[in-house]
C-alpha cells in the first residue's frame, strides 16, 4: 500500500534507532522513503500490508501465526505459542492441524516441546544449545522430543519425572548404543512403558521412576527377550534364504511354476517363523506381568527367596507358560 502520512492512522509503537533517535516504525519508513533508501532492491515508499479490524487478543494471535512468514522464531519460541493455545483451551485436533500448517515437518517436534516444563532441565538444555554445535543440538532435540511426547502419552508424568528422564538420558549417559542405553524413540518408548508398568500401583505412579534400577531385567524377561531375538533372527534368515533362492532360479531361467515348487518348503518355514515371532510378541504383556509377580513373590521383606531352587523353577515355568 502507499505509505500514508503519520498522523492519519494509528500505528503500533515499535521503535528503531536511526541516527541516535528513537523512531516509531511508520516514521522510520517515511524518512527512509524521503531519503530514497532501498533494501534488497526494494524501496520504503510502499509496504505490503493488510488492515484488519479485530480486538487485541485476535491481533496477537494473528501476529504469532503470521510470524512464520517473516522473521522465523526458534522452535522453543514456537512451542511457547502452542503451550499458550493449549492453556487457553484450544482443541487438540485443531491445534495439531494448525501446527502442521504453520510448522510443516517440524510440527510434531514443536508440539512435543510445548509439553515440556518451561522451568525444567530439558527446556533449559534446549535453550542453552539453540546456537550450539549441530550434532549435540540434534541429539538433544531428539531427546526433548521423546520426553515431550512421553508427557503427551502419559499425563501422569510430573515435572519431577521429566527431570529424572533427562538426567538419565544426558548426565547419566542413558542415550547411546551400548548395553543398557537407548538410541531411538522406539527403544526409549519401550523402556519407559516397562518402567511405568513397574512403578504403577493401583493406578498411581510412584514419585520416582528409579530408571537405573529397571535397566537390569528380571530372569523372566531376559529369557523371553532371548527367545524373541532368536525368533526374529529366524524370520530374517528364512526371508533372506527365500529371496536368494528366487534370484538364483530366475538367473537360471526357471519358470514361475518351477520357482513356486522349489521354494515352497522355504515359504512354509518362513510362515512358521513369522507366526512364532508374532505369537511371542503378543505374549509380551504376560511375560512382563510374570516378571512383576516374580519380584513380588521373592523380594518382599527379604533380599533372597527362602528356597532358591523354587525361584528357578518358578521362573522357568513362567517363561514356558508365557511363550507357548
For the stretch 73-82, pLDDT in tens is 789 999 999 9
pLDDT given for residue 219 in this prediction: 73
Q: What is the per-residue pLDDT across 49-72, written as a single tens digit (0 to 9) for each? A: 656 667 777 776 666 555 544 556
Question: Count of CB atoms within 10 A of residue 151's CB?
Answer: 21
* 135 — pLDDT class (breaks 50, 70, 90): low
In the structure, what pLDDT confidence band is assigned to residue 305 with cuts at 50, 70 and 90? very low
> Does position 22 have pLDDT exceeding 50, yes or no?
no
Whether pLDDT at 258 is above 80:
yes
Q: Where are the domains of the chain?
A: 1-51, 56-214, 219-322
pLDDT at 20: 39
> What is the predicted pLDDT for the residue at 132?
66
Q: What pLDDT, on the 0 to 100 scale, is given for residue 128?
A: 87
Q: Band of the pLDDT at 249, cuts 50, 70, 90?
A: very high
- Asked if 204 contacts 158 with a C-beta cutoff of 8 angstroms, the reply is no
pLDDT band at 303 (very low <50, low <70, confident <90, very high): very low
* Opening angle at CA 95, ends 92 and 96, nearest 5: 85
pLDDT value for 9: 33
DSSP 237-285: HHHHHHHHHHHHHHHTT--HHHHHHHHHHHHHHHHHHHHHHHHHHHTHH
Q: What is the pLDDT of residue 31?
A: 76
More confident residue, 86 or 134: 86
Contacts of 126 (CB under 8 A, 6+ apart): 75, 76, 113, 116, 140, 141, 144
pLDDT range class, residue 152, cuts 50, 70, 90: very high
Query: pTM of the predicted model, to two decimals?
Result: 0.50
pLDDT-derived band of residue 149, with 50, 70 and 90 as boundaries?
Answer: very high
**CB atoms closer than 10 angstroms to residue 241:** 14
pLDDT number for residue 233: 93
Q: What are phi and psi for residue 23, nearest 5 degrees? A: -125, 145
Tens of pLDDT, residues 222-245: 788 788 889 989 999 999 999 999
Mean per-residue pLDDT of the chain: 77
The arithmetic mean of pLDDT across residues 149-161, rounded, is: 96
| pLDDT recorded at residue 150 | 97
User: Mean pLDDT over residues 122-151, rounded?
Assistant: 86
Q: Is the pLDDT of residue 299 over 60?
A: no
Q: How much of the chain, in percent, has pLDDT values that exceed 90?
A: 41
Confidence at residue 269, expressed as pLDDT on a 0 to 100 scale: 95
**Rg for the chain, CA atoms, rounded:** 30
Cell of 57: 487478543
Residue 145 has pLDDT above 80, yes or no: yes
Q: What is the pLDDT of residue 110?
A: 95
Q: Tell me the average pLDDT across 1-30.
A: 45
Please report the pLDDT score of residue 317 as a whole number.
Answer: 54
Amino acid at each position: 500500500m502507499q505509505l500514508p502520512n503519520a498522523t492519519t492512522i494509528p500505528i503500533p509503537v515499535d521503535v528503531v534507532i536511526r541516527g541516535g533517535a528513537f523512531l516509531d516504525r511508520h516514521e522510520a519508513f517515511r524518512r527512509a522513503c524521503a531519503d530514497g533508501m532501498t533494501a534488497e532492491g526494494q524501496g520504503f515508499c510502499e509496504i505490503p500490508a493488510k488492515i484488519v479490524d479485530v480486538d487485541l487478543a485476535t491481533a496477537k494471535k494473528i501476529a504469532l501465526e503470521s510470524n512464520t512468514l517473516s522473521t522465523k522464531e526458534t522452535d522453543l519460541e514456537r512451542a511457547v505459542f502452542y503451550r499458550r493455545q493449549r492453556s487457553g483451551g484450544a482443541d487438540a485436533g485443531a491445534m495439531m492441524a494448525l501446527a502442521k500448517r504453520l510448522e510443516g515437518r517440524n510440527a510434531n517436534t514443536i508440539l512435543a516441546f510445548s509439553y515440556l516444563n518451561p522451568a525444567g532441565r530439558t527446556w533449559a538444555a534446549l535453550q542453552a544449545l539453540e546456537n550450539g554445535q549441530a550434532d549435540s543440538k540434534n541429539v538433544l532435540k531428539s531427546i526433548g522430543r521423546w520426553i515431550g511426547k512421553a508427557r503427551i502419552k502419559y499425563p501422569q508424568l510430573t515435572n519431577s519425572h521429566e527431570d529424572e528422564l533427562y538426567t538419565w538420558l544426558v548426565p547419566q549417559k542413558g542415550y547411546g548404543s551400548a548395553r543398557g542405553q537407548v538410541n531411538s524413540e522406539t527403544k526409549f518408548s519401550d523402556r519407559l512403558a516397562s518402567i511405568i508398568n513397574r512403578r504403577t500401583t493401583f493406578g498411581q505412579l510412584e514419585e520416582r521412576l528409579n530408571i537405573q534400577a529397571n535397566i537390569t531385567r528380571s530372569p523372566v524377561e531376559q529369557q523371553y527377550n532371548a527367545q524373541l531375538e532368536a525368533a526374529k533372527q529366524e524370520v530374517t534368515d528364512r526371508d533372506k534364504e527365500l529371496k536368494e533362492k528366487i534370484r538364483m532360479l530366475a538367473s537360471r531361467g526357471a519358470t514361475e511354476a518351477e520357482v513356486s515348487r522349489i521354494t515352497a518348503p522355504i515359504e512354509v518355514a518362513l510362515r512358521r517363523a513369522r507366526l512364532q515371532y508374532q505369537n511371542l510378541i503378543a505374549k509380551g504383556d504376560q511375560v512382563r506381568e510374570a516378571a512383576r509377580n516374580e519380584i513380588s513373590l521373592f523380594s518382599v521383606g527379604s533380599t533372597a527367596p527362602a528356597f532358591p531352587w523354587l525361584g528357578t523353577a518358578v521362573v522357568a515355568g513362567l517363561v514356558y507358560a508365557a511363550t507357548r
